[in-house]
Amino acid sequence: MTVPGAVEVIEELARNDAELIVGAGTIFDVDVARQCLGAGAKFLTSPGLDLAIVDFALKHEAVVVPGALTPTEVTAAWKSGADFVKVFPCSQLGGPTYIKALKSPFAEVRLIASGGINQQTAAEFILAGAVALGIGTELIQPDAIKRREAAWIRELSRRFLRIIRQARERLKS
């Protein structure tokens, strides 16, 4: 929701590409969550834990990913019924070692590392126990948006996916 016209972008993406799973991030209240789901978003995420947003998403059968940082917040998010818990801002407060530390008591919680993740650190987060990564400007750079460089965004997506796949293969072996 930090991008001007975000709801309209969600609506356009959801309408024009049936294979694309469109979500909405940086949700701070239920009214915005309602607009995003109405526009076609299939998942909602927030930087912090707002139980009203979690409850709203669950009632509307949308995947919900609240943000959390402390063990208390992770516990509350998971107990609320969240599908995943986004650890944010992760890189700035321990990075992969923090994810690994959280996974010890929270082995069953599906953690998404988010905040400051780049191509050099992405694999470390997966190897530490994150099930997914929240990647912002390292994936969708403002200059690429301004210049409408969809090919560059797709290339960065391919790179991140390759890094994640390789890390998951390492976990299997």
pLDDT digits (tens, 9 = 90+) for 21-73: 999 999 999 999 999 999 999 999 999 999 999 999 999 999 999 999 999 99
Whole-number Å distance between alpha carbons of 67 and 123:
21
At 143, the pLDDT band (50, 70, 90 cuts) reads: confident
> Which pLDDT score, from 0 to 100, does residue 138 have?
80
Please state the pTM of the whole predicted model. 0.91
CB atoms near residue 47 (< 10 Å): 19
What's the Cα-to-Cα distance from 99 to each of 59, 82, 103, 121, rounded to whole Å? Answer: 29, 18, 6, 13
> Which pLDDT score, from 0 to 100, does residue 146 have?
73
Whole-number Å distance between alpha carbons of 16 and 113:
29
pLDDT digits 0-9 by tens, 62-96: 999 999 999 999 999 999 999 999 999 999 989 99
Whole-number Å distance between alpha carbons of 12 and 128:
36
SS3 36: helix
DSSP string, 125-147: HHHHT-SEEE--TTTS-HHHHHT
DSSP state of 155: H
* Domain layout of the chain by residue ranges: 1-64
